[in-house]
Chain A
Amino acid sequence: MAVLSRRVLASAFARSFLIQGSWNYRTMLGTGFAFAMLPALRLIFKENPVALEASVRRHLEHFNAHPYLSNIALGAALRLEADGESEDAVRRFKVAVRGPLGGLGDALVWASWLPAVSLSALSLVWLGVPGWVAVLVFLAVYNLGHVWLRAWGFKAGLAEGMGVARSLGRVALARLTERVRALAALLLGVLLGTVLGGEGGLGEAGVIWGGLAAAAFVAGVLVGHRLWRPTAVTVVATVAVLATFGWFL
């Protein structure tokens, strides 16, 4: 295995924060992945410019995953390149992991962790905590999970290479996701409670607004995402009608 210096590894890790910088519908994360790999590839193939060019080309190919969990693939790909694995092995590995890393990441981060932290910050706002405190809590708690996930993924990939699936099993990301989702359900309840009982909330807005909000909540549960766009259109249209009505008065 070629030795990857700390400096090169730190550079690859820092570049992973920019992995979506040139996201596009053709190669998706591919260009960003090659961009993050580049310092390490330059070190590994410093004696062989032809091999360097070939390695950059294979990492420019289409790749997609959740941006945070893509660090697992990034670390593992660095390890495979340093170990001198064949082009086919590297390519097969990336094709095999991209689907699971996308699905797991979306479920854990976008659909669970982000809304859970967001709900806790919103509850703090409705409880009257100063806004800057709520924002700092949101950023600190969210990014604690975010940066840990990126760092853990990079380290696990680098340590285990092709066998990184074992790490995924040990951390049991699916079980972790379920726990975060349970926490999010509790926090959703907390937010509903604070909005109902807090200052300037629905409790003060009266029975009509409270009833309409309850009906809207139930409609959201029953219909799901299909209702989001019509709701946004309805809110915009209602505001526009009221504003126009007021203008004519």
Chain B
Amino acid sequence: MELLQIALVGGVLALDGTSLGQFMVSRPLVAGVLTGWVLGDPALGLLVGAILELYLLVSFPSGGARFPEGATATVVAVAVAAAAGSPGGVPLGVAAGLIWGQVGGWSISWLRRANGRFVPEPDAENPERLMAAHIGAMVLDLARGTLVTLVGAASGRWAVQFFAGAWPLDSTDSAGLLLVGGAVSAGIFLRDLGGFRRRKFLLAAGVALGLLGARLL
């Protein structure tokens, strides 16, 4: 029952990724907290979601590009992390999420090819068929997201039981390991913004503000 709930959360959040609204409830930070809430551990969901948000900072649903799917990846990651328990839950969950993000991306490409086969041609006999095709494509996307999440969460939770108890790092080192990966995304984003030379003053001012905020709060 819990697995079905998780799968439905993944399916609904995946819809927001491209098909419906793009209000960004599909971003890892939001998806993580929501999944954590469903599983009774929103703090774990927040932690996993925040780390994946950092990793996917430079990944967005631009045009026809293939991109890792954040929503299903995060739901799977939180489900795996919750099943594993601490201290290995978070790194194992994030790793599962990174793998499943790629699977989600492939499934989106498949969906787009499938949509191309059944949307009406501009010279089709009955162009009003587009209503059925358009809504049908969204239902297919919901089914895709649900299935991708179901398979990911079920297989991830099965696999993680063999390794969870044997994770050799404590939570501080686990966080350090994951933040090293996240630092690459932060660097890539700085490059996208024009690089260190162009942004050095704003970046330095931000670091000072961040350090000050961390000290005060």
Chain A contact residues, CB within 8 Å of chain B: 17-18, 20-28, 30-32, 34-35, 38, 53, 56-58, 60-61, 64, 67-68, 102, 106, 110-111, 114-115, 118-119, 121-123, 125-129, 131-132, 134-135, 138-139, 142-143, 146, 181-182, 184-202, 204-206, 208-210, 212-214, 216-225, 227-228, 231-232, 234-236, 238-240, 242-247, 249
Complex formed: what's the CA distance from A246 to B169 in Å?
9
Complex formed: what's the CA distance from A224 to B195 in Å?
10
- Is there an interface contact between A219 and B130, defined as CB atoms closer than 8 Å? no
- Is there an interface contact between B190 and A239, defined as CB atoms closer than 8 Å? no
Residues of A within 8 A of B188 (CB): 220-221, 223-225, 227-228
Of the 9-residue stretches B5-13, B88-96, B147-155, which lies at the interface with chain A?
B88-96
Interface of B: prevailing SS: helix
Interface of A: prevailing SS: helix
Complex formed: what's the CA distance from A20 to B21 in Å?
8
Residues of B within 8 A of A119 (CB): 57
- Is there an interface contact between A110 and B24, defined as CB atoms closer than 8 Å? no
- Is there an interface contact between A181 and B193, defined as CB atoms closer than 8 Å? yes
| Of the residues A26, A27, A125, A209, contact of B50 by C-beta under 8 Å | A125
| Of the residues A53, A182, A247, contact of B163 by C-beta under 8 Å | A247
- Is there an interface contact between B186 and A188, defined as CB atoms closer than 8 Å? yes
- 29 A-B pairs within 8 Å (CB atoms) are namely A18-B134, A22-B137, A23-B18, A38-B128, A38-B130, A38-B131, A58-B122, A60-B121, A60-B124, A60-B127, A125-B29, A132-B33, A186-B206, A189-B205, A189-B206, A189-B209, A190-B210, A200-B175, A205-B179, A220-B185, A220-B187, A220-B191, A221-B190, A222-B187, A223-B188, A235-B181, A239-B92, A239-B94, A246-B88
| Of the residues B45, B62, B127, B211, contact of A193 by C-beta under 8 Å | B211
Complex formed: what's the CA distance from A23 to B54 in Å?
27
Total interface residues on B, using CB and 8 Å? 104
Look across to chain B and name the residue whose beta carbon is closest to the beta carbon of A216. B183
- Is there an interface contact between B29 and A184, defined as CB atoms closer than 8 Å? no
Residues of A within 8 A of B69 (CB): none
Look across to chain B and name the residue whose beta carbon is closest to the beta carbon of A65. B63
A100 to chain B, nearest CB (A): 14
- Is there an interface contact between A21 and B186, defined as CB atoms closer than 8 Å? no
The residue in B46, B119, B204 that gathers the most chain A C-beta atoms within 10 A of its C-beta is: B119
| Of the residues A31, A138, A249, contact of B130 by C-beta under 8 Å | A31
Known: A18-B138, A228-B59. A139 touches B25 (CB 8 A): yes
Residues of A within 8 A of B29 (CB): 118, 121-122, 125, 134-135, 138
- Is there an interface contact between B213 and A142, defined as CB atoms closer than 8 Å? no
Judge whether B177 is part of the interface by a CB distance below 8 angstroms.
yes
B121 to chain A, nearest CB (A): 8
Complex formed: what's the CA distance from A20 to B16 in Å?
10
Complex formed: what's the CA distance from A222 to B112 in Å?
34
Judge whether B4 is part of the interface by a CB distance below 8 angstroms.
no
Look across to chain A and name the residue whose beta carbon is closest to the beta carbon of B138. A21
- Is there an interface contact between B175 and A127, defined as CB atoms closer than 8 Å? no
B124 to chain A, nearest CB (A): 8
